[in-house]
Each structure stands twice: as C-alpha cells, then as structure tokens.
Structure 1
C-alpha cells in the first residue's frame, strides 16, 4: 500500500547529527538503498495476524502496563515487535502521537522492520541487535521525519537470540535523547520476564533526586539507577545495557545525583 500525498523528494544521504551515530545510520541507509526502498513512498506490507498469547507478549504485558501508566501524560507512543518487526502491541495516551503513528501505518500487525520502513529506531535495533535512536530527518523514509524514535532489542541473554524489540516514538521537536535509556530498560525488563527471572538483582534506595526533574527525567534516572544496580555499578556495562555511551552515562549520573562504584570516577 502506498501512503497518500507522497511527492517527489530526493535525498542522497542522511543528515546525521553525531559521529557516534553516523556509521550505523549511514550503513542502514545504504542497505535500504541497495534494496531499492524509496524515500518518499511508504509501502506498507499487509497486516499480519498477531498471536495474543505468544510468550513474548505475555511476558511484556505487565512491563508495558507499568510503562503505560508512567507515560500517561507524555507524548510518547510505545511499540512491541517480534523479531521480524511485526507490531505485537501499541500503547500510548497522546491522541496526536497515536494519530501520527496511524498515518505511517504503525499499528498492531504492521511491520516496522528496516526492510519495510527503512531506518528507524526499531528497524535499526532489530537489524544490528543494539539500541538505537533515530531523530527526524535521519529516518530513511521522509514520512517518519516528524518523529524521534528509540528502539532496543529484547535479547535472550543465554542464547543471544533477538526475541523482538521495544520502540518509543515522540514528536521530533521534543528531542528526548533519554528515550533510549527508557527503551533499553523496558527491553531488559521484558527479557527478564521472558526468562522468568528478575532483572534487578538487589533493590536499593538511590540518593534523593535533584529538584525540578520532569517526569521523563525521573523515568530516565530510575532506568539508569536500575542498570547500575544490575551491573554492580559497572558504568561501562550499564551504558551498554542502556545503549548509551560511557560519556553520556557519566554526565547523567552526575546530573541525577546517582552514585557509581568507587574507582569509576563518579560519585554523588
């Protein structure tokens, strides 16, 4: 199916914003170009049947319920996909965001893989098995330029097999880099439930947060605190868990008044 209102609009390379991101996004664009995927025509594959009792969906349900509640006032859409990018579940409360997702055919049963929709947070996370954020015009299809999309693979940590992906989408003007940490934490929680094990090894009380944090910032702080706890305060391992660079995670730790293990160079 072709989206309505498509016009001729040629782009030869992604206007990527950061060197750390450039290689992955450029590689994704090259794969899309090699497959002959157009920039300006949204070719939505037919909707697929979704097994509402799949193991992944059952494991994800409680995690998505909690996330849905915490994001009730935020302009964010949440997707859960299988390994092929088929959308198993979609959550969200902001009518504008949900309408925008409808407009690009990101509904239950749709396909959000790189093969289907080009470079996106979910598509890139599934393509190379790592968390990813794609902002605005870094998307291969111009139809997605209105979004910032974060994606994180749900990975079986015993076999290393990608079980699916979590995607978070918000208007690109919001600029929520912290979506990546939240997507990564959600994917890890789902993987933990899929394996019937807890994802946080030992709960602890973090230092009081700095005043004036937004709800989104509080969520990111919680995700970082849980990742540090799970990884025994190993900043490098926590950064890999969340799909953040070490430098970004160090900045976030300082900003949010968190504490890392002695010797990491970070303290609250």
Structure 2
C-alpha cells in the first residue's frame, strides 16, 4: 500500500468516526471536510484561484490591512525565509492576498497553489493551516500528513488569526514549509513568531483604524492578544480590540457605542490597568518634554487644557 493510499484510508476512517471527532480537533476538522464540505482526500486538483477583476476587487478591499502588514511580513520572512519557508497573508475567506517567497522556492509553492489569489478555505481545501485557523479562529499547526488532502501532505503550515478593529476575524497569517526535514519542534518555534507577528499586525491595523484617538494598552491575562482601547478627546472609549472587548465585557462584534472611560473602568478600588497605562503615558510625555505641559500635550495629540484635566484626574501635579 502506498503512502498516499494509506493516508486517504486513514482520513476517511477517522472522518467517519463520531467518537474520534469528539476527542480530537484534527479529527473534527477531517470530519467537517468530508461530511460538511463533501471533499475527497484523494482529489488531485489544485486549489481554486481568483484572478482578474475578482482578485483586484479582493485586494482593493484589504488594501489598508496589506499596507500595515507589509513591513511585518518582511520582518517575519527575514527570520524564516532562509529555511525554505513562505510567508502568506490571507483574507477572512482564506484567499491569499500577499506573500513572501524566495526565488528558489517559488516554483514549488506555485505548484502547490500557495500563491496570491489561491483559496485555502477549509471548505475548498479541507484541513490545512489557513482554512482550519479561520474555521476554528485559533492558532494551528498542520504538519504534513495532518492535512486532509493527500496532495498536501508534503508541507507544514503554521497559522495565527488576525482580528479586525471591530472584533471580527479578518485574516490569517501563514508560514508554510516545503522542507522534508521540517520537525514539529521547529514548527512550534515558528508558531510563536507567527503569533507575535499576527498580534503586531492586529495592533497596527487597530491604530490605523483609530488614528485620531489615543490608544491605550490595557491589562489582560492573555499575553498573546492585542488588548487596546481607543479613547477620544472627550475621554470616551470609541474602540476596542477583540481581547479588550472580552476583558471589559463589551459586545464582541461591531462598532462600539461610545462610553465614558470612568463609567466603564471606575476608580473606587484604585487605578485599573487602563488608568495605570494612561498615567504612565502622561508621565512619559511630561518627562520627554522636560516638564513642559504644552510640549507634552503636543506629543500626546491633545490640547493643553485637556492634559491639565487628565493630570488632575490622575493625581499628577505640574512638578
């Protein structure tokens, strides 16, 4: 029995087992691929690809995300590119928007369908790093024969989700490897860097969405999540990342209804994580400005009178 046939039989056996799906996330994904999406693990066709006008429209819709993500994709590629890895950014449907691949590896990844315009959603490609990351909205590593399709078992895929400014999942960050000697231990090391880069993209996208607001980093028990609040000149919270919404009990999705920061965070029990972060930001600005309130206000992007009010509220005097 060939490895391909053995893989196909194993996937179908597991996919048909309800008990296996209940015990394993991988088995559950294989079952979704076979039952919900009607896929055959022995299928030979390549990934579906968007081209022409359809691809241009997709790229245009995600132009802002691609702009803020580009330098972070470059940084990630500088760390993993020499080891035979490709870096890909997809939209929330699993369509590849941008990529970083060495010239020497381009032909291999193109043959596998890891290229701009390719649709790697779970509904079309079965269990894979990009599609399963988006379907389950979590970090995943799909290593070689964990893929649903037998034709994808030569690759390893390491992915992390990226959430938008309104809490919605909007993209996946993927590192895929063509190396036959890629180990699971190495995948885990790459996975940590992928998660860190995804968080950096999420933070940069949130800051761009609220470029006129003050961005405050709040405390969270999840060190891998971006926990940011956008506060306007009236001290109203007007935006929050997905993790910040969870921490403060806001609606998980959609535009945030403005609310006074003090009403949400309170002061009865002493400074909150938000207030400590705000106080630190004001102190840093005053220190950089040598105590000059007008200069500190300019650095913070607020008016001098507004800064005086905040200093008073935070218990800071001019000295």
TM-score by length of 2: 0.55
Note if 1:38 corresponds to 2:40: yes
Structure with the bigger percentage of helix: 2
Within-5 A mapping of 1:164-179 = 164-170=171-177, 171=179, 173-175=181-183, 176=186, 177-179=188-190
Question: Could you tell me whether the CA contact under 8 Å between 2:161 and 2:198 is conserved in 1?
Answer: yes
Q: Any unmatched runs of 5+ in structure 1?
A: 1-5, 198-229, 242-268
C-alpha RMSD over aligned residues: 3.0
Q: Which has the higher contact order (CA 8 A, sep 6+)?
A: 1
Deviation string, structure 1 residues 91-132 (Cα, Å, up to 9, x no partner):
122624x33321221210110111111111111110011010
Distance 1:14 1:61, change over 3 A: farther
Instruction: Mark the structure with the bigger radius of gyration.
Output: 2
Partner of 2:202: 191
Note if 1:237 corresponds to 2:222: yes
Within-5 A mapping of 1:206-221 = none
Partner of 1:145: 153
Question: SS in structure 1 opposite 2:138?
Answer: coil
Which residue of the other structure, out of 64, 77, 92, is the alignment partner of 2:73? 64
Question: Could you tell me whether the CA contact under 8 Å between 1:81 and 1:89 is conserved in 2?
Answer: yes
Distance 2:155 2:46 in 1: 18
Q: Any unmatched runs of 5+ in structure 2?
A: 209-216, 227-319
Q: Could you tell me how far 1:191 is from its partner in structure 2?
A: 0.8
Q: Could you tell me how far 1:30 is from its partner in structure 2?
A: 0.7
Which residue of the other structure, out of 132, 136, 145, is the alignment partner of 2:140? 132
Distance 1:13 1:95 in 2: 38
Question: SS in structure 1 opposite 2:71?
Answer: helix
Question: Could you tell me whether the CA contact under 8 Å between 1:75 and 1:94 is conserved in 2?
Answer: no
Partner of 1:180: 191
What is the aligned length? Answer: 196
Deviation string, structure 1 residues 136-159 (Cα, Å, up to 9, x no partner):
111001111111111111013x53
Q: Could you tell me how far 1:68 is from its partner in structure 2?
A: 2.4
Partner of 1:23: 24
Q: Which runs of 4+ in 1 moved over 3 A?
A: 6-11
